[in-house]
Amino acid sequence: MNHRYSEKVSRDFPRWLGALLAAALALFAAPALAQPSDLAASFDDALGTELRTPQTYEAIYVDGFEQRIAELADGDNGRIGVAAMDLSTGEQIMILGDQLFPMASTSKIAVAATYLEMVEQRRYTLSSEMPLLLPVRSAKYSSEVAPKREGNYMQAIDLIEIMITRSSNPATDTLLNAVGGPQQVNAWMQRQGINDFSIDRDIATLVRDDGEYDPASYIDPRDSATPRAMLRLLAGLYRGDLLSDQSRRVLLGAMSRTRTGKRRIVANMPQEARVLHKTGSLNNTSSDIGIVESPDGRAIAMAIYVTGQGSRLARERKIAEIARALYDGFAAKARLNDPTRNWTSAPLAATGGE
């Protein structure tokens, strides 16, 4: 493999034991179950409609943790970026962590955070009403900014909810307009010390002009970020470093109710894990970023960006596999580093929203 990694993995387990346990993983794979549709399905990610697979096994990657992630993130069929951190220890693992990837809708977390800061500054409230900005059909590249029309008025709290949970593009453009445009979101990120992040177009324009380049082989700096930058955003939000407690509850609460991307981070997680996340999809690219809370009280932040792989389903499967390997690998390291702790009794962190 030609990848470089930012963190080295403990070598305390014998190599033969790590290899044996890693090989055992394949014996326990289970297919995902179909999720029934409902009236809200029109908001959902078109293909992300599967329930989480019940899992009774635990893969253990200690000696082979880094190797396992590198194997899953093999970029032969397209670029794959991974950045993950155990927030209780600060340990990280990176694959192409400093390379730019299309953010797609994962940028909506930063849009919501920018608006919530304005609420803290009393420039807006969560009950402020504004018209939904709906896209108007236009030819690709026919204008610098895609045309939009005003729809029904909605409260900001509801716009944030559907922007995160349903990945509503009109809601995003409404909030982008309210905060002063993409440049204000970029400025908010920079004030937090997070670089390698740029929103350059509103969502209507981004979607209309999608497909200009193939992200599997071409790096477009527009509307892109590095996995490391998005990991820093997730960690800062979760730890309460970037927003007030109320704003944090609003945003993390919405992320805990995300309905899109059921075949991504959540797909292979054990039932007892709690996932707070935001998905993204564009031409030949799929992504998912979020926090996975485990029953032992730990939280794993992860940003996974996948391009190529032949199909959307293959990209989603890759995200699910990487996410589970990260969850299991960090869990194994925690047990190795503190074998005296009762790892099954701690409650999940209380981060739920309204």
Structural domains in the chain plus CATH codes: 15-21+32-337 (3.40.710.10)
Q: Any bridge partners for residue 290, and if so which?
A: 277, 302
Q: How far apart are CA 312 and CA 315, in angstroms?
A: 5
pTM over 0.85: no
Which pLDDT belongs to residue 340?
Answer: 59
Which pLDDT belongs to residue 37?
Answer: 32
DSSP-derived secondary structure for 90-121: --EEEESTTS-EE-GGGGHHHHHHHHHHHHHT
Which pLDDT belongs to residue 342?
Answer: 52
Q: How far apart are CA 336 and CA 139, in angstroms?
A: 57
Which pLDDT belongs to residue 344?
Answer: 47
Q: Which residues contact 194 (CB under 8 A, 6 or more apart)?
A: 229, 232, 233, 236
- Whole-angstrom CA distances from 86 to 32, 234, 334 are 26, 12, 9
pLDDT tens figures, 126-163: 999 999 999 999 999 999 999 999 999 999 999 999 99
- Whole-angstrom CA distances from 284 to 172, 211, 335, 339 are 22, 8, 38, 43
Q: How far apart are CA 137 and CA 181, in angstroms?
A: 21
Name the residue among 315, 307, 325 with its Cα closest to residue 93. 325
Q: How far apart are CA 69 and CA 8, in angstroms?
A: 12
* Residues in the chain, pLDDT under 70: 1-63, 339-354
